[in-house]
Amino acid sequence: MTEKSKFLLSEEDIPKTWYNIQADLGFDLPPLLHPETKEPTILPPPLFCAALNEQEFSKEREIEIPKPVRDIYRMYRPSPLIRARRLEKALDTPAHIYYKYEGGSPSGSHKPNTAIAQAFYAKEAGLKRLATETGAGQWGSALAFACKLLGLECKVFMVRVSYNQKPYRRVMMETWGAEVVESPNASTPMGAAFLEQDPDHPGSLGVAISEAVFTAGTNDDTNYALGSVLNHVLMHQTVIGLETQKQFEMADEYPDILIASIGGGSNFSGFVFPFMREKIVDGRDIRIIAVEPTASPSLTRGIYAFDYGDTAQAAPIAKMFTLGHTFIPAPIHAGGLRYHGMAPIVAALYDKGLIEATAESQLPVFKAAVQFAQTEGVIPAPETAHAVKVAIDEALKAKEEGVSKVIAFNFSGHGLLDLAAYDAYNQGSLEDYALPEESIKAAMAILPEVPTEYAAA
Ligand X SMILES: Cc1ncc(COP(=O)(O)O)c(C=O)c1O
Binding site for ligand X (CB under 6 A): 109, 135-136, 138-139, 228, 261-268, 336-337, 381, 383-384, 412-413
Least distance between ligand X and beta carbon 264 (Å): 4
The minimum distance between CB 103 and ligand X, in angstroms, equals 8
CA 305 to chain CA mean position, Å? 20
Which residue's C-beta sits nearest to ligand X? 336
Instruction: Quote the least distance from Cβ 337 to ligand X, whole Å.
Output: 6
What is the widest separation between alpha-carbon atoms in the chain? 65
- Comparing CB distances to ligand X, the nearer of 139 and 450 is 139
Q: What share of the chain is helix, strand, coil (3-state, %, to 5)?
A: 45, 15, 40
Q: CB 104 → ligand X: shortest distance, Å? A: 12
Nearer to ligand X by Cβ, of 156 and 251: the residue is 156
- Cα(361)–Cα(301) distance, rounded to whole angstroms? 14
Q: How far is the CB of 412 from ligand X (least distance, A)?
A: 3
- Dump the DSSP string for 401-425: HT---EEEEEE-BB-TT-HHHHHHH
Q: Which is nearer to ligand X, 222 or 261 (CB)?
A: 261
Name residue 446's amino acid: I
Cα separation, 327 vs 340, whole angstroms: 6
The residue among 251 and 274 lying less far from ligand X, judged by its C-beta, is: 274
Rank residues 173 and 251 by Cβ distance to ligand X and give the closer one.
173
Query: To the nearest whole angstrom, how small is the minimum distance from the Cβ of residue 295 to ligand X?
Result: 13
Q: How far is the CB of 29 from ligand X (least distance, A)?
A: 18
Burial 233-265 (b: 16+ CB within 10 A, else e): bbbbbbbbbbbbbbbbeebeeebbbbbbbbbbb
Q: Which is nearer to ligand X, 93 or 204 (CB)?
A: 204
In sequence order, the 6+-apart residues with CB closer than 8 A to the CB of 143 are: 111, 115, 118, 119, 130, 132, 134, 154, 156, 178, 225, 227
Phi, psi of 35, rounded to the nearest 5 degrees:
-65, -25
Least Å from the CB of residue 92 to ligand X = 28
Q: Any idea what the Cα angle at residue 38 is, between residues 211 and 324, rounded to 5°?
A: 55
Minimum Å distance from CB 437 to ligand X? 24
Nearer to ligand X by C-beta: 315 or 398? 315
Min dist CB 254 to ligand X, Å, is: 24
CA distances, 215 to each of 20, 120, 188, 390 (Å): 30, 20, 8, 39
Helix axes 344-351, 266-282, angle to 10 degrees: 40
Phi, psi of 262 (to 5 degrees): -140, 120
Residue placing its CB nearer to ligand X in the complex, 78 or 263: 263
- Tell me if 322 sits within 8 A of 303, measured CB to CB: yes
Instruction: Give φ, ψ of 292 to 5 degrees.
Output: -115, 165
Between 260 and 450, CB nearer to ligand X: 260
Q: Which is nearer to ligand X, 93 or 361 (CB)?
A: 361
Q: How many CB atoms lie within 10 A of CB 449?
A: 8
